[in-house]
Amino acid sequence: MDDRWRPGSTYERDFFGWANEQAALLREGRLAEADIENIAEEIATLGRSEKRELVSRLAVLLAHLLKWQFQPGWRGKSWRFTIEEQRYGLDRHLEENPSLRAKLAEAIADAYRYAIIQVQKETPLTKRELPSQSPYSEEQIFDQNFLPP
């Protein structure tokens, strides 16, 4: 049985306590006592979380760009500020995680699928009315001055 889920294990019972204990062991160089397997899994989970944030921010941004383009009568400062906010957040996120840049094309494709769903939930637009792939280049997506016509 995987030890991290064994009843009574610190990892399962008290994650906060386990994390602090593991951090102290690592800082003290006591690697033989550290829970290396679970530490490695938690680090991998953090990496996946960073990619999920990238996709999530891109999805919100792409949805608002689509709404801006396909619902010009509804344009307002709220949409414009959401676009600006997501671009700023994406810039910061990529500055803090530069290796994610290698995953941008994949992240944009994933995010666009979520954006289509979001637009359909929030507007009368249907999937058939929207492009099947992102109509925006990577440069346009990140350009603080770009808004679709």
In the chain, where the domains are located: 1-34, 49-142
State phi, psi for 117 to the nearest 5 degrees: -65, -45
Distance separating alpha carbons of residues 104 and 51, to the nearest angstrom: 10
What's the pLDDT score for residue 8?
53
Per-residue pLDDT tens digits for 76-86 = 999 999 999 99
Say how far apart CA 109 and CA 59 lie, in whole Å: 9
Four-residue CA torsion sign, 23, 29, 33, 38:
positive
Of 57, 2, 77, the C-alpha closest to 35 is 2
| pLDDT of residue 1 exceeding 50 | no
Count of C-beta atoms within a 10 Å radius of residue 47: 12
Which pLDDT tens digit goes with each residue over 81-121?
A: 999 999 999 999 999 999 999 999 999 999 999 999 999 99
pTM of the model: 0.83
CA distance 37 to 34: 9
DSSP 133: S
Q: Does residue 63 register a pLDDT over 90?
A: yes
Does the pLDDT at position 42 exceed 60?
A: yes
Backbone angles phi, psi at 18, to 5 degrees: -60, -45
User: pLDDT tier at 11 (50, 70, 90 boundaries)?
Assistant: confident
**Looking at the predicted structure, is the pLDDT value of residue 68 above 60?**
yes
